[in-house]
Structure 1
Amino acid sequence: MRFAVIADIHGNSDALEAVLSDIDALGISTVVNLGDHLSGPLDARRTIELLMERTYPSIRGNHDRWLIEQDPSEMGASDRAAYEQLAKHHLDWLKALPSSLTLFDEVLLCHGTPASDVSYWLERVEADGRVRSATIDEIEAEASGIDAKLLLCGHTHLPRYVRLRDGRLVLNPGSVGCPGYDDDTPVYHQMQTGSPNASYAIAEKPGGNWLVTFRSVPYDNRRMVEMAKQKGRNEWADALATGWIGS
């Protein structure tokens, strides 16, 4: 069993195309998608059309949910920028996606944690905005009662995996299209990878244990950077160009 894991494309169609080309070059035919496909000041329409052409097992992220649940007047700037590019059939595709999914009898797909699409699984944000790695107790608490052996999540955009004490793995493949962002919830904080590359992961089970490989794919990001600048989103432009916020 061998498949690619993608997440958090955020409308970056150029990064998505680079990742798909890399996956094809490796001869991988199965891809699973952990959500947050479109939100951002980039190319949401091209992104969703690329995804709709394929039949990847996919779930909704929190921004995908907000695109179909919120009135446009209530949306944040990134969601509104994506929403304005979408037609009804695009929104219908998002509405049909589940919030979580179990595949291959032992692989769970969720966006944030199994219980919440807005919670971080492998990281925590302190009251002063400092981001730290979650403790093993905190991580295992979110996995309680889940039989899956490989637990896939996204949301933080940081590529990482953790082995639980019972042998299960929690894997975040990183973000295809948004290598850094800031957020006000629960307090202001920044998540940044320090690389402009598109990230994804490969999971395979050649024997009895899961083997994980992270891929960091360079691509020509100039069109996406310019799109962000034209929308007045300089923090997006910085993150896309460098992997840092306010660099």
Structure 2
Amino acid sequence: MKLAILTDIHGNELALQAVLEEIDARGDIEEIWCLGDMIAMGPDTNEVLDLLFARPTIRMITGNHDEAILSLIAGEGHPETYKHTREHHEWVAKRLSKENTDKLKSLPRMIEKEINETRIIGIHYHIELNKRNAHINDEPFHSILEPTLHNMEKMFANYPADIICFGHHHPEHLFKNEQQIYLNPGALGVSKENTAPYAIIDFTKEKQPVIEIHHVPYNKKSFLQRFETLQVPQREIMFKLFYVGE
């Protein structure tokens, strides 16, 4: 079996389309995991979710941005530490269709699978056991740690899995020790590069799974133009922080 791992699409339909087209062209991916933050930052809210929910081979979980937007829609407030993104989140919330809202609400925070005696867990980022069911306004997701083996062990060593797949922190992570592998393929939709990353875990060739991170080119210029066409709130600061420049 080969499993594809995507995360942090962040409303980037063109990047997602490019990755799905490459996966389809390969013809050997049996299942795709999408590890949260499908929406926000980028302009393509329903477009991204429509693509994902249309595919029965995709398993999805929620991320912090997804949950913050759902909280706004439900009238349950907005996380205090996300107040700098509230204007943008409100814009996304107004665009999110009722059908996609309901589907997003039904998603779990974690997925698990065993393949060839290898246990895999997918989660958006570390959540302490006593916060696994906490509301997003209670800040359940762990603060971001620098990508080092020591920090990955600090967060994930007690997870009952051989491979822990996650996102949230946008740079790529691929660390391993004698017991576990820690994989974050990098943010598919949020990068200053002109490519979209995703990972493939291959269980077919070796006793141990083989992991590769792929980068797929896409039309980033057209993607960025959509921010202007739709007058996406807070686009200037997002350009500077996530998409263009040094």
Other-structure match for 1:189: none
Relative contact order: is structure 1 or structure 2 higher (C-alpha 8 Å, sep ≥ 6)?
2
- For residue 58 of structure 1, what is the amino acid of its counterpart? M
Select 1:98's aligned residue among 68, 93, 108.
108
Larger helix proportion, structure 1 or 2?
A: 2
- For residue 6 of structure 1, what is the amino acid of its counterpart? L
- Give the Å deviation of 1:149: 0.7
* Residue 213 of structure 2 corresponds to residue 211 of structure 1: no
Q: CA contact under 8 A between 2:3 and 2:200: conserved in structure 1? A: yes
Change (3 A) 1:160 1:145: closer
Normalised TM-score (structure 2): 0.80
Other-structure match for 1:117: 141
Q: CA contact under 8 A between 1:40 and 1:81: conserved in structure 2? A: no
C-alpha offsets along residues 90-109 of structure 1, whole Å, 9 cap, x if unaligned? 11111111011111261100
Identity %: 27
Point out 4+ residue stretches in structure 1 off by more than 6 angstroms.
Answer: none
Q: Secondary structure at the match of 2:60?
A: coil
Separation (CA, whole Å) in 2 of partners of 1:79 and 1:103? 32
C-alpha offsets along residues 163-204 of structure 1, whole Å, 9 cap, x if unaligned? 02x33100001111111xxxxxxxxxxxxxx52211111111
Q: Secondary structure at the match of 1:176?
A: coil
Normalised TM-score (structure 1): 0.80
Select 1:139's aligned residue among 141, 152, 167.
152
Separation (CA, whole Å) in 2 of partners of 1:200 and 1:239? 21
- Give the Å deviation of 1:238: 5.0
C-alpha offsets along residues 133-190 of structure 1, whole Å, 9 cap, x if unaligned? 33x33321212322211100100111220002x33100001111111xxxxxxxxxxx
Could you tell me which runs of 5 or more consecutive residues in structure 2 were left unpaired when the two chains were aligned. Answer: 79-84, 129-139
- Give the Å deviation of 1:239: 6.2
Could you tell me which runs of 5 or more consecutive residues in structure 1 were left unpaired when the two chains were aligned. Answer: 125-132, 180-193
Other-structure match for 1:2: 2
- For residue 34 of structure 1, what is the amino acid of its counterpart? L
Change (3 A) 1:198 1:100: same
* Residue 166 of structure 2 corresponds to residue 167 of structure 1: no
Q: CA contact under 8 A between 2:109 and 2:123: conserved in structure 1? A: yes
Equivalenced residue count is 218
The alignment's C-alpha RMSD in Å is: 2.2
- For residue 236 of structure 1, what is the amino acid of its counterpart? M
* Residue 190 of structure 2 corresponds to residue 178 of structure 1: yes
C-alpha offsets along residues 68-95 of structure 1, whole Å, 9 cap, x if unaligned? 1234974623322321211222111111
